[in-house]
Amino acid sequence: MAYLFTSESVSEGHPDKVADQISDALLDNFLAFDPDSKVACETLVTTGQVVLAGEVKSKTYLDVQHIAREVINTIGYTKGAYQFSGDSCGVISLIHEQSQDINQGVDRENKEEQGAGDQGMMFGYATKETANYMPLALDISHKILIELAKLRREGVDIPYLRPDSKSQVTIEYSDDNVPQRIVAIVVSTQHDDFDKDDDKMLGKIKKDIISILIPRVIAQLPQYTQELFNDDITYHINPTGKFVIGGPHGDTGLTGRKIIVDTYGGKGAHGGGAFSGKDPSKVDRSAAYASRHIAKNLVAAGVANEVLVQVSYAIGVVKPTSIFVDTYGTSTLGMTDGEIAKKVEEIFDMRPSAIEKRLKLRNPIYQETAAYGHMGKEPQTITKVFESPYSGKVEKKVELFTWEKLDYVDTVKKAFEI
């Protein structure tokens, strides 16, 4: 019997994502001026206020207020009507030095013997159902909001949009796990109060989302995905009514509260640890990226059509306590999942220092991850510029989303004799 599966996404203007982006902007600035920085930075945003807290060990000093305001303005919170603006909000910093008790378990004279920054389990997932090896419902949900943000910044076709928004996509699958059709799409978007007649205003918003936004999204998709769109899709557009009050004024935002949006939309699994604001010594982040890298290369190499990889650590211990692989019965090799996991352990060095080196994680590459998902994006090389009143100006050429590279496909094929 056919079944339904749903994933959601949230925009860069969602309060939790505002918090994530500020935390990762701070992290990037610390790493730009001191690559050995240890950072665990949390952000809270609410009406007219930003609170920064956490632990940092670094040789550099930052104007954290300026960085936070810059992020907020870039997202689009620039008007007093939003009750939250980068130019006028208060920014309180409660950041303090990292505990020496934690640091002693991580830092070692020999960097290769660096211990894990915490205990826990991390998951990576990949599937063949999209070109970027991501779950389809989540991929479409992200694309809807990325395109909505473009429309907001263009300010032409839908000029009343505000930064806060959410999307959700429900897909019907056949018994053999093949997408059949899109059943429902939810889009809730913050907007100006542009008409005194609420019913007329909501009708205009619904019409614009369905007739302007959705066709722009469909045009970006491959043909097989375009065919899943149909005339019977149920659209829920701002289903609670008008959505004028939003962003941090409408809902307090916190770093790390959108971990399913950040990863696989409910497919696969999640170990519970958030990413944003954490330097790569925290395996919550680095090992999750490494696990995605493994899963994606395994699927791309033809080991299986769908793969979940779990890795676990003990704080201060160098090697993982376990590596687990689940191919959901889609293995093409006649090997057990345990046998595949053993091969994975031989191919990929999962010590924290090795992950940092392999994926080039001691670079300021994290603000770009903090909205629309940490997984599934295109690897690219860019130049980023950082300025500090205390440390001057620095330019860094960095690789983004290195864990999305298919650079181990040949190695995997050789190891598995494919």
Q: Is 275 annotated as ligand-binding?
A: no
The residue type found at 38 is K
Supply the pTM of this predicted model.
0.95
Q: Is 14 annotated as ligand-binding?
A: yes
Residue pair 14/360 in contact (Cβ under 8 Å)? The answer is no
Q: Is 198 annotated as ligand-binding?
A: no
What residue ranges define each of the domains in the chain, with the CATH number in brackets? Answer: 3-9+136-246 (3.30.300.10), 16-98 (3.30.300.10), 120-128+259-416 (3.30.300.10)
Residue linked to tokens 């190891």: 415
The residue type found at 132 is N
User: Long-range contact list for 393-400, CB < 8 A, 24+ apart?
Assistant: 394/32, 394/33, 396/32, 396/363, 396/364, 398/360, 398/363, 398/364, 398/365, 399/360, 399/363, 399/365, 400/365, 400/368, 400/369
Q: Is 291 annotated as ligand-binding?
A: no
Q: Is 346 annotated as ligand-binding?
A: no
pLDDT in tens, 150-202: 999 999 999 999 999 999 999 999 999 999 999 999 999 999 999 999 999 99
Neighbours of 210 (CB within 10 A): 15
Residue pair 92/258 in contact (Cβ under 8 Å)? The answer is no
Q: Is 42 annotated as ligand-binding?
A: yes
Q: Is 257 annotated as ligand-binding?
A: yes
Q: Is 87 annotated as ligand-binding?
A: no
Q: Is 139 annotated as ligand-binding?
A: no
Q: Mean pLDDT over all residues of the chain?
A: 95
Distance of CA 394 to the CA centre of its chain: 26
Q: Is 243 annotated as ligand-binding?
A: yes
Q: Is 109 annotated as ligand-binding?
A: no
Would you mind telling me the total number of residues written for the chain in this entry? 418
pLDDT in tens, 198-235: 999 999 999 999 999 999 999 999 999 999 999 999 99
Q: Is 393 annotated as ligand-binding?
A: no
Q: Is 282 annotated as ligand-binding?
A: yes
Q: Is 374 annotated as ligand-binding?
A: no
Give the model's pLDDT for residue 89.
95
